[in-house]
Amino acid sequence: MAGRIEDYALVGDMQTAALVGRDGSVDWLCLPRFDSPAVFCGLLGDDANGFWRIAPAGGPAHAVRRRYRGGSLILESEWDTRDGTVRLTDFMPPRGRAPRLVRIVEGVCGRVAVRSALRMRFSYGRVVPWARKTAGRLAAVAGPDSLWLDTDVETHGSDLTTYSDFTLGPGEQAAFTLSWQASHLPPPPQRDVAAALRATDGFWADWVGRCTYDGPWRDAVVRSLITLKALTYRPTGGVVAAPTASLPEELGGVRNWDYRYTWLRDAALTLSVLLNTGYREEAEAWRSWLLRAVAGDPQNLQIMYGVAGERELPEAELLWLPGYEGSAPVRVGNAAAGQFQLDVFGEVMDALYLGERSGLPPTDDIGLLRHKLMNHLETRWREPDEGIWEIRGPRRHFVHSKVMAWVAADRIVRLLERHDRAGHAVRRWQSLRETIHREVCALGWDPQRRTFTQSYGSKELDASLLLIPQVGFLPPDDPRVAGTVEAIRRELLQGGFVARYPTRHSEIGVDGLPGGEGAFLVCSFWLADALAAIGRRDEARELFERLLALRNDVGLLAEEWDCRAGRQLGNFPQAFSHIGLVNTALALGG
């Protein structure tokens, strides 16, 4: 059975990622890309669906210490046994051709018996590969995929599982490398494990050394930035929202979605965070990805794409998997790709604006894309949409969506004014900006309750309204901002943290789904930002510290927090949560 979500740590190579549990088990790994079928899928099923566990043969079950090596994505786990101590080092080298997961076991003191149990299952735990030894290597082949195990210890097979049993004394090591290769190609080359470890350590040291944040929460911010970097797809510049699929928003519930794709919103916010902390290379790569993904067709703009810009992301249910702790159905693909979400125009325009303001050179292609996006927005901003939370119920006039349409108009005006380009285009977007602002303030405001509402004419609230001062729609000292903050604190708090919007466990809610969910972590970061903006910095700081305490032992956050059970929920680690953490640290300053 899979561990708690917070029991996992992340290792990755900026093309895919693995989750490693406290028990030394890799229970999730998709190869060769984030969105490829998993070869270890125990996370959404059980051991029969694939895993790779390395741990002391006699226990204890879980590592007693775990940490990342310095500012890197190299995971070190240590077990203290009655016979001694062993350390397991897991990492994925930033790759050349073949993706590789490297696992090194080292004796620290005493002599400890260790077992490696490797059960490879392709196609999300459904397909058993054909395994054979060839030239001292173990090869496992199924259809288009092959895995190659290289190790310096003996292996043997039993019950369709590959085992290694060995004993280590102080300073002795056993190394394992698992590489993926398309099955029709020659075997991937064997690599020097020690050299790969040094290169991986050096890569992350160089990358972290570029970080410009040096405030009181540097360790937490750096870990979040490393996590966000790990969610970038290096070959194209795409950014995934999370490396996992179908981790539930409610244990035993149906709110289980695939996040291994590039949402324009999440990616734009990720790049904004990276730009604000000194990283330009990723922003330039994403801007190029955006041009390729949108191409010349902004009227068919999707809210998400594959990491290489793929448009077709069909949603399917994997009926052979029981789901994480019985949370079914297990879904891969995402039907929300076909939704209309007005707010993405604002997030994309804001990211392009910030990029240029941060020194990214303007290009004719980017200028043309901006104008095409704005021309399309101008024709559609009055339409209802599915909104930031991707509701699967009827479309509505969501206030946050309209606010972000205002952001798009505001940023194009600022960009044109920045280049002293007065004229008809500026006046046109200025007029659009003013029109949207007037409508939102008239139709999205509840004067009796003194708060903005989730959608025009509704009485319900939405945590995305906390972004109104952050994006500049209203100044922080506007009484409508304070009124909205207070209303959200009254109505959306769960155990001291913020829900996205009201859900009704016994009936279908505004999102078209049954059941409930946990507190949405980025929304609590937004509340901290809003409190700081309206001058309540002590409250903001206290909330921020409580949010930091929700991170697991290696500094990672999932999408949500179950306030009753006191555990993390949703896909993990979640870019949105780590974006919120960095932004709040920046907002609170020293």
517-539 pLDDT per residue, tens: 999 999 999 999 999 999 999 99
Reported confidence tier of residue 502, pLDDT bands at 50, 70, 90: confident
Residue 418 has pLDDT above 90, yes or no: no
Name the more confident of 295 and 448: 448
The C-alpha atoms of residue 283 and residue 270 are separated, in whole angstroms, by 9
* Residue 513 Cα distances to 62, 177, 390, 445, 576, angstroms: 37, 43, 11, 26, 22
Residue 163 has pLDDT above 80, yes or no: yes
Residue 298 has pLDDT above 90, yes or no: no
Question: Which of 463, 435, 478, 443 lies closest to 527, judged by CA?
Answer: 463
Contact 73, 54 (CB under 8 A): no
Residue 205 has pLDDT above 70, yes or no: yes
For range 226-236, the mean pLDDT? 96
Q: Which of 245-249, 301-305, 331-335 has the lowest mean pLDDT?
A: 301-305
Per the structure block, which two tokens stand in for 563? 């306030």
- The three-class DSSP label of residue 484 is helix
For range 546-567, the mean pLDDT? 97
Reported confidence tier of residue 426, pLDDT bands at 50, 70, 90: confident
Q: Residue 574 gets which letter from DSSP? A: -
With pLDDT > 90 as the criterion, what percentage of the chain qualifies? Answer: 86
pLDDT at res. 417: 85
pLDDT at res. 505: 56
Contact 558, 569 (CB under 8 A): yes
The DSSP H or E segment spanning 380 is helix 364-380
pLDDT at res. 392: 85
Amino acid at 227: T
Contact 545, 527 (CB under 8 A): no
CA atoms within 13 A on the CB side of 323: 25
pLDDT at res. 413: 94
Contact 575, 266 (CB under 8 A): yes
What size, in residues, is the chain?
590
Reported confidence tier of residue 393, pLDDT bands at 50, 70, 90: confident
pLDDT at res. 581: 98
The partner residues of 519 in beta bridges, in order of sequence, read 561
Q: What's the start-to-end Cα distance of the chain, in Å?
A: 43
Residue 506 has pLDDT above 60, yes or no: no
Question: Which of 76, 80, 77 lies closest to 59, judged by CA?
Answer: 80
Reported confidence tier of residue 469, pLDDT bands at 50, 70, 90: very high
Residue 50 has pLDDT above 80, yes or no: yes
Contact 77, 3 (CB under 8 A): no
* Residue 255 Cα distances to 140, 249, 266, 387, 436, angstroms: 34, 6, 19, 17, 33
Residue 488 has pLDDT above 80, yes or no: yes
Angle at CA 523, nearest 5°, toward 522 and 526?
90
Residues 6+ apart with CB under 8 A from 126: 49, 318, 320
Beta strands in 58-99 (DSSP E): 65-68, 75-81, 84-91
Contact 121, 130 (CB under 8 A): no
Residues of the chain with CATH 2.70.98.40: 5-186+198-205
Average pLDDT, the chain: 94
The DSSP H or E segment spanning 201 is helix 193-208
Calculate helix-pair angle for 218-230, 575-588, nearest 10 degrees.
150
- The three-class DSSP label of residue 48 is helix
pLDDT at res. 74: 98
- Asked, as a colleague might, if the bond just before 188 is cis with ω within 30 of 0, I would say no
Please provide residue 238's backbone torsions phi and psi, each rounded to the nearest 5 degrees: -65, 160
- The three-class DSSP label of residue 360 is coil
Per the structure block, which two tokens stand in for 339? 């939704």
Residue 200 has pLDDT above 70, yes or no: yes
- Asked, as a colleague might, if the bond just before 329 is cis with ω within 30 of 0, I would say yes
Exposure string for 368-377, b = 16+ CB within 10 A, e = fewer: ebbebbbebb
The DSSP H or E segment spanning 132 is strand 130-134
Contact 453, 440 (CB under 8 A): no
For range 438-460, the mean pLDDT? 97
The C-alpha atoms of residue 175 and residue 178 are separated, in whole angstroms, by 10
The C-alpha atoms of residue 256 and residue 37 are separated, in whole angstroms, by 17
Residues of the chain with CATH 1.50.10.10: 210-381+394-588
Name the burial class of residue 34, with classes exposed (0-12), middle (13-18) and buried (19+) by CB atoms within 10 angstroms of its CB.
buried
pLDDT at res. 96: 72
* Each residue's pLDDT tens digit, 102-137: 999 999 999 999 999 999 999 999 999 999 999 899
Reported confidence tier of residue 422, pLDDT bands at 50, 70, 90: low
- The three-class DSSP label of residue 413 is helix
Please provide residue 289's backbone torsions phi and psi, each rounded to the nearest 5 degrees: -60, -45
Give the 3-state secondary structure percentages of the chain, helix then strand then coil, rounded to 5: 35, 25, 40
Question: Which of 76, 35, 3, 72 lies closest to 236, judged by CA?
Answer: 35
pLDDT at res. 414: 93
Residue 421 has pLDDT above 70, yes or no: no
- Asked, as a colleague might, if the bond just before 144 is cis with ω within 30 of 0, I would say no
Contact 237, 285 (CB under 8 A): yes
SS3 assignment for 4-19: CHHHEEEEECCCCEEE
Residue 470 has pLDDT above 70, yes or no: yes
For range 31-56, the mean pLDDT? 98
- The three-class DSSP label of residue 545 is helix
The C-alpha atoms of residue 516 and residue 563 are separated, in whole angstroms, by 12
Name the more confident of 344 and 97: 344
Contact 560, 256 (CB under 8 A): no
Residue 191 has pLDDT above 60, yes or no: yes
Per the structure block, which two tokens stand in for 440? 């939102």
* Residue 196 Cα distances to 168, 243, 577, angstroms: 22, 23, 31
> Does domain 210-381+394-588 correspond to CATH entry 1.50.10.10?
yes
> Does domain 5-186+198-205 correspond to CATH entry 2.70.98.40?
yes
The C-alpha atoms of residue 332 and residue 334 are separated, in whole angstroms, by 6
> pTM of the predicted model, to two decimals?
0.96
Contact 560, 570 (CB under 8 A): yes
pLDDT at res. 419: 74
Name the burial class of residue 97, with classes exposed (0-12), middle (13-18) and buried (19+) by CB atoms within 10 angstroms of its CB.
exposed
